[in-house]
Amino acid sequence: MTYTVETLSIPDVRLIRAARFEDSRGFFWMTYRKSEFEALGIREDFLQDNLSRSSRGVLRGLHYQKEPAAQGKLLTVLSGEIYDVTVDIRPESPTFGAYVDVSLSAERPEMLYIPEGFAHGFCVLSEYADVLYKVTREYSPEHEAGIIWNDPEIGIRWPVRNPVLSEKDKKLPRLQ
């Protein structure tokens, strides 16, 4: 098996570690192999890949898409380091409003799997970070939604006090 999985405090969100092979030329790791992900219980058809580059202190999120365009995500950091946050927005869930956080770095062969029903955001801890994420549905502007990054009811302990935000992210509503 190329991957191992760590279940986080919200069991549907999983940290996936890949085998990394290094030699004098550099390294190699397989970022996605459908058959092995299915064996881990992640049975998704990823339809679109997105790549973002952000500089230190940039905070993106908390974003999600509403049904019928809700997206599952598989996130990988290609360069730099981020503090990543996933918030459970499934009203019927026992962990509704709870979040899981993890530091992801290009130095570690890790990926974060986020199923549908979660808002997602991250802030950049390094000079810059390149983040690649696969999604299970194509982007749909009319289904785009989000939650304000500093919603006091969620209480995320971001490692930045005054993040760099987009104008759109500054105006997002609270979860409730």
- Its pTM stands at 0.94
Q: Is the pLDDT of residue 2 over 90?
A: no
What mean pLDDT, rounded, does the chain reach? 96
Q: Active-site residue numbers?
A: 63, 133
Q: Span 119-123, mean pLDDT?
A: 98
What ranges do the domains of the chain cover? Answer: 3-170
Q: Is the pLDDT of residue 176 over 90?
A: no
Contact 14, 7 (CB under 8 A): yes
Q: Convert 145-157 to b/e letters by CB count within 10 Å (16 or more is b).
A: ebbbbbbeebebe
Q: What is the pLDDT of residues 4-36, one digit of tens each?
A: 999 899 999 999 999 999 999 999 999 999 999
Distances (CA, A) of 68 to 92, 116, 117: 17, 11, 11
Q: What is the pLDDT of residues 123-166, one digit of tens each?
A: 999 999 999 999 999 999 999 999 999 999 999 999 999 999 99
* Class of domain 3-170 (CATH, top level): mainly beta
